[in-house]
Structure 1
């Protein structure tokens, strides 16, 4: 997938104009709210992704919940005091810890009218929407003309009024609950004394109206509990022995999934919350190869096959040694290189008619890049195999072990981050078996298709699916290396700076990569055969090796 605009001389390679009359015939197309649904409770419906085993199937997460006979009810309250901020993964983990441990009858989220948690521009932080659609007892309550916050902390009188009415507990979003039934529920009131404010405040309902402050609530009964939550440092031992933890550092699913986090106690507990198991999720492998040994390109609009596409196809046939290459599109490629490929390779290269997809899930698809993406969903879902962009050249055979996985992908390069996404995928090269679960979820996610967002559908959505379902695919950094502006950034290192340093000396590690993917621009050495043969650069050497493998040098 090209991540930069195509220059004018190459636009014809992929773009197919859509007749205006066809656009007008597509009912329900809204170019400003593409893929969005109706408004609910005054909030626009936002993209959300199914969370595996969030509530109904995990009520016995640790043990059977005890039926309460006295003490603090199973009700949790949150107050949103952050201004124009997103509901992050840390916020989500706080609420999820309550769902897992308290097994609440209700969770209330109070916010001042007009200050509902915002959705970041890249639409990474959809965690609140996912809670809304996966937990049945979340109640979001706007507060009109009511002071619910005193600066960045909940207003004391507001908290007391809600506790008097409902009972339960108020909890700060920086807190993750570890235990409730034995440690907190039996008491008349509970207080977590944090460094600056209370992290948890709870009580039974219906206490007298004259009890207006926290101190008055404390003095009202001797059956209370005051405690503290330790900071959740990664090496904190005995996590399950605490009542709660204070989340002091930003968290992302990928942090929990690193191999270095496998035996870290705090991360093990967070994985238990989010994924249901303390250990690292295992990516399923099969005894036999399940990925078909066939290559697929998507090519809409016809036009001349350029030289890098020609080299790409040869590398699939002679370096990957695919059985067949299928070129899917509404018109076949043309030009001398396409004719040469068909003449020399015969039935090993086949054009397959594929109608240009003008829509998906009732949303209009206009951009040819998006059309290629949604077509690729269906092609890979049906047939499986190896899919690559036309500007990918393979440099060594694929590791046959990769053919035993349901799906294999790579991360996008680190040099152009899409914050707050910690990472994204680049599906310029992808391998999968037919009907893999990842591709099923990926295609289904196109319910939230956005025509005007270049990287949402192709790069960011598949990453979000992986965050929630890490056992569905293998991330193989050596499968492809992305090159932007002729700088190549491997993703087998963990930081931008490491990738930048490696980009300065590609020769030192080039043999580790299975393919190179030039998203923009293509190297001039690969413009035509004369340039390739007359050049001795590293990129020219990649192309020359393809010709040698094909017996054309």
Structure 2
């Protein structure tokens, strides 16, 4: 015999489940036909016209086309074809019943959401970050080769200038000759110039995650300039789109990857990027961001500190986000410690040394504990499978190199990001469309345009 209490509990669970289902169904405002729509491959199309930008397919009433063939037309890789849903009508017959093309799109959206919106089981409450304790932290003095506070500033400046002169002889751009850079450096209102820097070594296609993070900088920080330092320009549709949106705010700065630091050879490309970001910070200062670090709200209040980093673990400060005045003592001291650089010691000088310097000289830097680089690489499910409460974060490091490991794909499509029910999906929509709510994708599923659904391109940030 089931008690009244158990019956009430079961009813409550059933009601909650039904409400969750309705919330996601109402995103599309869709009503679906019964089982016949789950076996559409057995149906035929009696009349359809597919209009495209470069050519048209006329499927007349004398020809029967299966749903499989229709799907092949709608989802094939783009070769100049872009479906115009307003000129595409379909009637699918089955024993006297019919399915309009509008209903077909709704069914496709429903099926797409089922497959892509919820990649993992959600926790009943948002996950909480673990607090680090002093008991688990190492002795910072054992991590530094030089524990002195005093440094030879003149020697450091001479080294940075020598490296800069070498690059200029190789044909690199002189960032100090850019008028907007000069103006920002001389701006005395904030300690950190409103210049955002990215390092881009190698000739690579810009992925959607790169596009999202740089667009976030434009949308929420609106810097004086975004400076992309590298030896080869990004490529691809997302790069073309970004250049149109950013206009004159985005500048490509030719910069050769450094091959040595304090005379010590650098072979690992990631370590070359680590050194390059420190050197450009020492040249002009500003905000350095990794290409998978997304600004989620205005960060001007963080520019009041001459040096700011974020805690990423109990024994490391992230170098993927750096706020710095070019004359900051901490920045110079960090660079000084590269005298003892070892290419084989992965990450030591980039994240462990600044952590040790912070612990030894805590008054020389401002450290943000949880609102920039948490969740970290040990908390990836919080980003890719759960719904972490990110709304107080200034910045979030998305760790995009782990997308395949976490979600089974090298890169999410815009259509997937539009409905992805995870922290990553929410953050992407917050940047792409200005709010985190899921999008109605039914019209996007009948086009081969990979950026279908993104807001109209406007150079609103210039």
TM-score by length of 2: 0.51
2:393 aligns with one of 475, 498, 513: 513
Q: 1:323 to 1:287 in 2, by over 3 A?
A: closer
Shift of 1:552: 2.1
Q: Does 1:367 align with 2:268?
A: yes
Which string of whole-angstrom CA distances, capped at 9 and with x for unpartnered residues, describes residues 401-436 of structure 1? 22111011111135xxxxxxxx21112112111221
Q: Does 1:480 align with 2:365?
A: no
Shift of 1:518: 2.5
Q: 1:488 to 1:393 in 2, by over 3 A?
A: farther
1:330 corresponds to: 231
Q: Does 1:456 align with 2:348?
A: yes
1:480–1:514 CA contact under 8 A, matched in 2: no
Q: In the aligned structure 1, how far is the partner of 2:378 from the partner of 2:422? A: 16
1:325–1:350 CA contact under 8 A, matched in 2: yes
Shift of 1:517: 0.8
Q: Report how many residues are paired.
A: 260
2:322 aligns with one of 423, 430, 439: 430
Q: Equivalent residue of 1:527, what SS?
A: coil
Name the structure where helix makes up a greater proportion of residues: 2
* Matching of residues 47-62 of structure 1 within 5 Å: none
Q: Equivalent residue of 2:253, what SS?
A: strand
Q: In the aligned structure 1, how far is the partner of 2:382 from the partner of 2:367? A: 16
* Matching of residues 467-546 of structure 1 within 5 Å: 467-477=359-369, 478-484=371-377, 487=380, 506-507=387-388, 509-519=389-399, 520-522=401-403, 524=407, 527-546=412-431
Q: In the aligned structure 2, how far is the partner of 1:332 from the partner of 1:123? A: 42
1:203 corresponds to: none
Q: In the aligned structure 2, how far is the partner of 1:430 from the partner of 1:301? A: 22
Q: 1:468 to 1:314 in 2, by over 3 A?
A: same
Looking at both structures, which has the greater relative contact order when contacts are Cα pairs under 8 Å and sequence separation is at least 6? 2
2:55 corresponds to: none
Q: 1:305 to 1:504 in 2, by over 3 A?
A: closer
Q: Does 1:547 align with 2:439?
A: no
TM-score by length of 1: 0.43
The runs of at least 4 consecutive aligned structure 1 residues that moved more than 6 Å come to 131-134
Shift of 1:127: 8.0
Q: In the aligned structure 2, how far is the partner of 1:463 from the partner of 1:453? A: 16
Q: Equivalent residue of 2:248, what SS?
A: helix
Unaligned runs of at least 5 residues, structure 2: 1-133, 151-186, 436-453, 457-462
Q: In the aligned structure 2, how far is the partner of 1:304 from the partner of 1:127? A: 38
Q: Does 1:402 align with 2:305?
A: no
Q: In the aligned structure 2, how far is the partner of 1:128 from the partner of 1:517? A: 27
Q: 1:513 to 1:351 in 2, by over 3 A?
A: same
1:307–1:528 CA contact under 8 A, matched in 2: yes
2:311 aligns with one of 411, 415, 418: 411
Q: 1:333 to 1:440 in 2, by over 3 A?
A: same
Q: In the aligned structure 2, how far is the partner of 1:123 from the partner of 1:479? A: 24
Q: Equivalent residue of 1:326, what SS?
A: strand
2:244 corresponds to: 343
Q: 1:424 to 1:485 in 2, by over 3 A?
A: closer
1:479–1:515 CA contact under 8 A, matched in 2: yes
Q: In the aligned structure 1, how far is the partner of 2:248 from the partner of 2:346? A: 35
2:10 corresponds to: none
Q: Equivalent residue of 1:510, what SS?
A: coil
2:140–2:359 CA contact under 8 A, matched in 1: no
1:332–1:351 CA contact under 8 A, matched in 2: yes
Shift of 1:442: 1.1
* Matching of residues 7-26 of structure 1 within 5 Å: none
Q: Equivalent residue of 1:536, what SS?
A: coil
1:317–1:323 CA contact under 8 A, matched in 2: no
Shift of 1:530: 2.5
Q: Equivalent residue of 2:330, what SS?
A: helix
Shift of 1:528: 2.8
Q: 1:531 to 1:483 in 2, by over 3 A?
A: farther
Q: Equivalent residue of 1:487, what SS?
A: helix
Shift of 1:366: 0.8
Q: Equivalent residue of 1:295, what SS?
A: strand
Q: Equivalent residue of 2:229, what SS?
A: strand
1:488–1:506 CA contact under 8 A, matched in 2: no
Q: In the aligned structure 2, how far is the partner of 1:291 from the partner of 1:133? A: 23
Q: Equivalent residue of 2:201, what SS?
A: coil
Which string of whole-angstrom CA distances, capped at 9 and with x for unpartnered residues, describes residues 373-427 of structure 1? 00011111111111111111122222x322111011111135xxxxxxxx21112
2:387–2:422 CA contact under 8 A, matched in 1: no
2:141–2:360 CA contact under 8 A, matched in 1: no
